[in-house]
A and B are shown apart, each in its own frame.
Chain A
């Protein structure tokens, strides 16, 4: 039962990855990678139940937070060309 759910998740992740490689604009790619990360969280949680080791849920919890930070970081890097120091970003040429 967990294996079939994991298989469905892997199929959906392949579809999201296909959109991430094909996407015409950068926003399509970031959106597809974000959805792919959400499916990865679910896959890690389900795989923890498949292998009877629920310790994997800590990894899933961490990945859910890293996924959010990563999406916003990729957006910010695309918009400003670099990360960090948002205060002085308008001053320099």
Chain B
């Protein structure tokens, strides 16, 4: 029983760590601010939930578990609020979303204006 809990906790901790690393890579590789909100959301939901659940399984039914649950609840409430405030501020501030233009089209009329269509 204890071994099963240890194995489950180990899987949750390592899986959560890998999810957080994937979020960091996405934060670095995504092309635009609005797309970078997505890996940040991955870190804030699945990464936090998996790692805190793994730590909870190690702590057992103690005060430590209650504190971990409080951390989980606080992050689940504050993180969407902060992300919404950021996206709203960027939208009001005039940041244009990234658009996937055809690379051949961009190459054909290369006037430094990436989002122009080739027709006309």
Contact = CB atoms under 8 A, between A and B. Distances in A.
Interface string A52-91: 0010011011001101100110010011000000000000
Bin chain A's interface residue count: 35 or more
A38 to B, nearest CB: 6
Contacts of A25: 33, 90, 95
Contact of B17 (A9, A35, A58): A9
A48 to B, nearest CB: 9
A72 B74 contact: no
Contact of A79 (B43, B75, B89): B89
Interface in B1-20: 9-10, 13-14, 16-18, 20
Contact of A60 (B10, B71, B83): B71
A45 B68 contact: yes
Contacts of A38: 43-44, 47-48, 75, 79
A61 B71 contact: yes
Given A15-B28, A35-B40, A42-B48, A5 B54 contact: yes
B23 A41 contact: no
Interface string B15-36: 0111011011101100001001
Contacts of B74: 61, 64-65, 68
B13 A5 contact: yes
A57 B28 CA distance: 29
A27 B51 contact: no
Give 9 nearest A-B pairs by CB, closest first. A8-B17, A15-B24, A12-B24, A68-B78, A57-B67, A5-B13, A12-B20, A54-B64, A27-B90
Interface of A: 1-2, 4-5, 7-9, 11-16, 18-19, 25, 27-28, 30-32, 34-35, 38-39, 41-42, 45-46, 49, 54, 57-58, 60-61, 64-65, 67-68, 71-72, 75, 78-79
